[in-house]
Homo-oligomer: A and B are copies of this chain.
Amino acid sequence: MKILVSKYAGFCFGVERAINMVNESASKKEKLYTIGPLIHNPQVVKRLEKKGVSVIQKKDIDNLDKGANVVIRSHGITKDLYKKLKNKELNIIDATCPFVKTAQKKAEYLMNQDYDVYIYGEKQHPEVKSILSYSDYKGKIIEDYTYNADDIEKDKKCGIVTQTTRNKKRFAQLCENFIIKSKELRIYNTICDATFKRQKDAKKIAKKVDYMIIVGGKNSANTTKLYNITKNIIPAIHVETVKELNENVLKKYNKIGVTAGASTPEFLIDEVIEKLKLI
């Protein structure tokens, strides 16, 4: 059997950085609290729990003692929540992805410079909520790239930032309407290439193989997206661990492709590859 593994499978820069930061603190035998699961991968979260990293909810923050170690996960938190952590004098381990941080900063800057702020992204995504909070909630979230921008005031300065995982081409198309209608426009392309490259490579591999395995959390949006993209091309399966793979199914194929989401650790990908090698 031939196995094709995407070179973009697994941890993105921001997730790897967050995991490393948490591992470093945990290795000092410190008790850590992450607000929500650090990444959308149950296996990793379980391993971290054994190292003393507990998942808490926002409401639990009030119960933390001064000086407790609290981790901000890679997609960031709102400005108000950050202030609350500071006020409670917690020890903040800020693992916000630097790309997300840039988007937050740009939204804040644009708001301070009297721009009408627009954020291209999903309203319900924590990253977008965090970016919005940095515009003091004055920003407008745009989910659809076909937004016609008819409601913008012609002589107002407009500033646009984007969720880091969006499609560049669509972002550019969205901006087109703003360019036509706005006299002054400031565009921060805060898109991170990793998502795009991972998806593009998944598509490329799917066209070369008979079967595709996508490894990653079922609760991971970007992993699910990889599955949806590839299953439109060839038969595909989305698994969290190697245990979900059926040997009899795998045997039917000559060429199998493997990729994984941004929150999938290497060991889970390796386990899948090892199994395939034995068939």
Contacts and interface: CB of A to CB of B under 8 A. Distances in A.
Contacts of A177: 172
Nearest to A162: B179
B172 A180 contact: yes
Interface stretch (A13-21, A84-92, A183-191): A183-191
A168 interface: yes
A202 to B, nearest CB: 20
28 contacts: A168-B179, A168-B180, A169-B180, A171-B179, A172-B175, A172-B176, A172-B177, A172-B179, A172-B180, A173-B176, A175-B176, A175-B179, A176-B176, A179-B189, A180-B189, A182-B189, A183-B188, A183-B189, A183-B190, A184-B186, A184-B187, A184-B188, A184-B189, A185-B187, A185-B188, A185-B189, A186-B187, A187-B187
The 7 tightest CB contacts between A and B, nearest first, are A172-B179, A172-B176, A185-B187, A168-B180, A172-B180, A175-B179, A186-B186
